[in-house]
Amino acid sequence: MMLILFHSPKGGVGSTFLTAQLAMHLAERGHQVTAIDFTYQDSLKLHFGMLPSQTVAGMTYAPGDTMVVGGVELLNGHAITEDRRFLDVLEQDDPGLFDPHRITLLDIASGSRALKTRLLSHCDLHICPLLPFAGSLATLPLVEPGTPVAQLEKTAFVLNQLDDTRRLSRHSHSFIRELLGDSLLGTVRRDEAVNEALAMFEPIPKFAPSSVVRIDLDRLTHAVERRLGLVADEDAGAASLQI
Ligand SMILES: Nc1ncnc2c1ncn2[C@@H]1O[C@H](COP(=O)(O)OP(=O)(O)OP(=O)(O)O)[C@@H](O)[C@H]1O
Ligand SMILES: [Mg+2]
């Protein structure tokens, strides 16, 4: 079982966007992938080109109905979090909730800290998106209060919405690189096509095939594969040089 959790102490930083895009990129690279939306907003599906009126199957304690979009099995996990049994199940060493043969990506809302903490003990990788703005960088000490960010074993960071034409963005990038070292998994540039694709209910590869975010997400996917030991070292080495 491979579990990747997306959570940031700050909202609006791209957790849902990155969950969806990484899920689709990993699926494109031949992995069996499930993405679970644990947020009340139910917006993960929109990044797959689904409409707000379309329903995603709810997560259950046993394998149930699922739908596959963009090569990814999609589930909604929010309802199950309101069941008291769910938190108890998460206390077990092996909650048996996630398919052992798949990579499962979990989108957790910034406010759901207790859920994040319980899931963290089961996950292989926690990805914390950051934005190159003071409001996001100021929340770094809140990722795991009391532990310096570069020392968090399971946590890696992605700097999202980078804009090299802006001085603050460039300086934030250098600062974050220095502070986080290898814990910075990658960067994703800002491209308005992300929001336009959402508005058109189309996935990015269809709406904006030449978007720069596709290049960045491809590199990020290599970095995630390397971090999880899913690719041979030489493949991964070549990918990491490009970040
Ligand atoms: N690289 C990018 N370029 C342009 N827009 C982006 C990029 N990444 C995310 N966005 C946009 O930023 C907004 C916030 O992204 P998203 O909803 O993924 O953040 P979130 O952390 O999940 O927020 P929330 O706290 O509301 O769950 C969305 O409108 C999304 O389309
Ligand atoms: Mg979100």
Q: Which CATH number fits the domain that encloses residue 184?
A: 3.40.50.300
Mean pLDDT of the chain: 93
Q: What is the pLDDT of residues 154-164, one digit of tens each?
A: 999 999 999 99
pLDDT at 232 over 80: no
Q: What is the pLDDT of residue 241?
A: 44
pLDDT in tens, 72-82: 999 999 999 99
Number of domains in the chain: 1
pLDDT in tens, 188-222: 999 999 999 999 999 999 999 999 999 999 999 99
Instruction: Give the separation between CA 128 and CA 111, rounded to whole angstroms.
Output: 14
pLDDT at 66: 84
Rounded-to-integer distance, Cα 95 and Cα 74, Å: 19
pTM (two decimals): 0.94
Instruction: Look at residue 18 in the predicted model and tell me its pLDDT.
Output: 98
Q: Is 34 in the pocket of ligand 1 (CB under 6 A)?
A: no
So what's the pLDDT on residue 235? Answer: 56
Q: Which residues contact 13 (CB under 8 A, 6 or more apart)?
A: 110, 129, 130, 131, 136, 160
Q: What pLDDT, on a 0 to 100 scale, did the predictor assign at position 51?
A: 96
More confident residue, 85 or 232: 85
Rounded-to-integer distance, Cα 54 and Cα 49, Å? 10
Tokens of 60: 């259950």
224 CB near ligand 1 (under 6 Å): no
Name beta bridge partners: 96: none
Q: pLDDT tens digits, residue range 64-101?
A: 778 999 999 999 999 999 998 998 899 998 888 999 99
Pairwise CA distance, residues 74 & 57, whole Å: 7
Q: Which atom of ligand 1 is nearest the CA belonging to 216? A: 1
Q: Distance of CA 79 to CAs 42, 57, 97, 121, Å?
A: 11, 10, 14, 21
35-54 tens-digit pLDDT: 999 999 999 999 999 999 99
Neighbours of ion ligand 2 (CB under 5 A): 15-16
Rounded CA gap, 152 and 126, in Å?
10
Residue 234: what pLDDT? 60
Structure confidence at residue 240 (pLDDT)? 45
188/214 Cα distance (integer angstroms): 9
- Which parts of the chain fold into alpha helices (H)? 15-28, 78-81, 84-91, 113-120, 134-137, 167-180, 193-199, 204-207, 212-227, 233-242
Residue 47's nearest CA partner among 24, 77, 28 is: 24
Q: Whose CA is nearest to atom 31 of ligand 1?
A: 195
* pLDDT value of residue 96: 87
**Best residue for ligand 1 mutational test, from 194, 196, 204, 212 (most atoms within 8 Å of Cβ):** 194
Domain of residue 34 covers 2-242
Specify the ligand 1 atom closest to the Cα of 189.
1
